[in-house]
Amino acid sequence: MKFIEEISRRRTFGIISHPDAGKTTLTEKLLLFGGAIQEAGAVKSNKIKKGATSDFMEIERQRGISVATSVLGFDYKNNKINILDTPGHKDFAEDTYRTLTAVDSVIVVIDVAKGVEEQTEKLVEVCRMRNIPMLVFINKLDREGKDAFELLDEIEQKLNLKVTPLSYPIGMGYDFKGIYNIYEQNVNLFTGDPKKDIEDTIEVKDLNTDQIDQLIGSDSANQLREELELAQGVYPEFNQDDYVKGKLQPVFFGSALHNFGVRELLDCFVDIAPPPRPKSSEEREIKPTEDKFTGFVFKIHANMDPKHRDRLAFVKIVSGKFERNKPYLHVRLGKNLKFSSPNAFFAEKKAIVDEMFPGDIVGLHDTGNFKIGDTLTEGEQIHYKGIPSFSPEHFRYINNADPMKSKQLNKGIEQLMDEGVAQLFTLEMNNRKIIGTVGALQYEVIQYRLEHEYGAKCSYENINVHKACWVEVDDEKSEEFQEFKRVKSKYLAHDKQGQLVFLADSAFSLQMTEQKYPSIKFHITSEF
Ligand code: GDP
């Protein structure tokens, strides 16, 4: 197959949702269609079970699963599909943000009864800011839920999106009769049997004939006609260009559990979703079709076996072909590296392959060379943008609880931070280390992993920090900046890259500081 064809058949995407909306179930059904798995139940949920905060086995179990399901690759109708897993748990939101830098589009799953939930809002916001094309799947139609119009409204209002339905439910819950596929103009009747032939749709070219009355009864048929007419009046016609630009979000309805409406979703998805897109770097925009390989690390996973300390770095291929045993430039380190066993990801396994294409994720064994955000090229100095750190929500001092093991502790902290588990800030005043996280759960993960993987012990101590703000100043020699550094010295720290960070202890003090030092800018993300 030609290089260009390989690129255009790739669909690399993430599924985002609030926990329990049905992401795992939908993923599994998509894999079934691709023939990538044989039966339901093969995909394990990567959810942290409720109340599991102190259950370390649960965290390890979750980690194990998240290695196995990080990237799920399979073929469907001549398309190569790569699903990138995104943890739903809010404490791992930063992981998800980073993964979203590697997708070309997303599918948003929404529970028909619960509507738009908190995590959906946050994740969609990130996608919206980056103009990532989004397709919405409203799930659990076999249950009573909100009315279709009400939901579409809610999605527009709360998520600030512009939607257009490409399928439409006929009834719901107890009364759920099926789905009218606006995109394909056919009807799929719901029998409640997940094993029913999924290709079993009935073409309905004209809703005004009595064909539809015979299928679902006149009352339902009339209601469907009315609602569709209304929908056509209210919502814009689907337009692929707007969708790909992130300006219009098509909506599908279905039930992942009953494998209903999923084929329609997938067929439309492979049709309209974009192949790998160009990506901007600090230097220039890079097109997937360029013949030189470039890629960036968006995720690092430590080996689950503590005896083998190597890690797996996940690289999204942006341009060119990745080849085994070919030397590539690690731009940050300025050195050439060769990879003898690059991994490609399939639904149930990973395997060493000789070449991979833009859109694919390659897993590289790493002994400590990689950090999140690193770029690999064939020699060009390219730095990919778009993997910022966000200000953590929680802050604690980390102390060494075993003085004999300080080397192990420092190495462990450094590697866990490279993996992106949390953020490290070092106070300027006294070099004390502060760990910042998105959720409280990470502190336990870090403590547990330091002990089990590095043989080090740590304890935590509270510190009152409201937000970490990256400091930007035009003139470092200015009197104002010097005064700021002197007055606020207690609150100044450096992040892992050595950038100056102001640790504000309250929203009020941040505001006061901003007012007092107008020439200094305070950012809550590391990229500005
Ligand atoms: P995730 O947290 O988003 O990955 O959600 P899961 O896929 O684990 O689903 C959460 C729960 O909802 C599970 O008990 C599923 O069986 C159930 N579920 C998923 N899809 C449907 C559906 O279409 N209908 C019904 N009734 N339940 C569903």
- The tens place of each residue's pLDDT in the chain, 528 residues long, gives 799 999 999 999 999 999 899 998 999 999 988 877 776 666 666 565 555 445 556 666 666 666 556 899 999 999 999 999 887 777 777 888 889 999 999 999 999 999 999 999 989 998 998 899 999 999 999 999 999 999 999 999 999 999 999 999 998 888 888 999 998 888 888 876 665 555 567 877 788 888 888 888 899 999 999 999 999 999 999 999 999 999 999 999 999 998 889 999 999 999 999 999 999 999 999 999 999 999 999 998 876 666 666 788 999 999 999 999 999 999 999 999 999 999 998 887 888 999 999 999 999 998 889 988 999 999 999 999 867 778 899 999 999 999 999 999 999 999 889 888 899 999 999 999 999 998 888 898 899 889 988 899 999 999 999 999 999 999 999 999 999 999 999 999 999 889 999 999 999 999 999 999 999 999 988 776
pLDDT at 62: 64
User: Boundaries of CATH 3.30.70.3280 in the chain?
Assistant: 394-523
pLDDT at 508: 95
Q: Name which of 337, 359, 273, 494 is nearest 4 in CA terms.
A: 359
pLDDT at 52: 46
Q: What is the DSSP letter of 260?
A: B
Residue 101 sits at the vertex; the CA angle it makes with 8 and 302, to the nearest 5 degrees, is 110
**Count of alpha carbons within 13 angstroms of residue 21, beta-carbon side:** 28
Greatest pairwise CA separation for the chain in angstroms: 82
pLDDT at 93: 76
Task: Please report the sign of the dihedral spanned by the C-alpha atoms of residue 128, residue 134, residue 137, residue 138.
Answer: positive
- H helices present in 160-308, as ranges: 211-216, 218-234, 240-244, 262-272
Residue 11 CB contacts under 8 Å (≥ 6 apart), including other chains: 79, 80, 81, 82, 104, 105, 269, 270, 273, 275, 359
> Which residues' Cβ are closer than 6 Å to ligand 1?
17, 19-25, 45, 47, 88, 139-140, 142-143, 255-258
pLDDT at 415: 87
412 is in an annotated binding site: no
| Alpha carbon of 25 to ligand 1 centroid (Å) | 6
User: Boundaries of CATH 3.40.50.300 in the chain?
Assistant: 2-272, 279-377
Neighbours of 363 (CB within 10 A): 22
pLDDT at 200: 65
Q: What are phi and psi of 306, to 5 degrees?
A: -60, -20
Which amino acid would we find at residue 217? G
| CATH, domain range 2-272 | 3.40.50.300
Q: What are phi and psi of 135, to 5 degrees?
A: -120, 135
Ligand 1 atom closest to residue 18's alpha carbon, by position in its atom list: 3
Task: For 394-523, give the CATH class.
Answer: alpha beta
Residue burial 251-280, b: 16+ Cβ < 10 Å; e: rest: bbbbbbbbbbbbbbbbbbbbebbbbbbebe
89 is in an annotated binding site: yes
Task: Please report the sign of the dihedral spanned by the C-alpha atoms of residue 510, residue 512, residue 514, residue 517.
Answer: negative
Rounded distance, CA 265 to CA 508, Å? 48
Q: What is the DSSP letter of 286?
A: E
Task: For 279-377, give the CATH class.
Answer: alpha beta
142 is in an annotated binding site: yes
Rounded distance, CA 358 to CA 289, Å? 8
pLDDT at 53: 46
The residue contributing the CA closest to ligand 1 atom 9 is 22
Rounded distance, CA 138 to CA 120, Å? 12
Rounded distance, CA 102 to CA 84, Å? 8
23 is in an annotated binding site: yes
Q: Is the reported ipTM for this assembly greater than 0.90?
A: yes
Task: Count Cβ atoms within 10 A of the Cβ of residue 155 and give its class: 0-12 exposed, 13-18 middle, 19 or more buried.
Answer: buried
The residue contributing the CA closest to ligand 1 atom 22 is 140
Q: What is the DSSP letter of 420?
A: T
**Count of alpha carbons within 13 angstroms of residue 126, beta-carbon side:** 26
Region of 514 on the Ramachandran plot (φ > 0 left; ψ -120 to 50 alpha; else beta) = alpha
Task: Please report the sign of the dihedral spanned by the C-alpha atoms of residue 293, residue 297, residue 299, residue 301.
Answer: positive
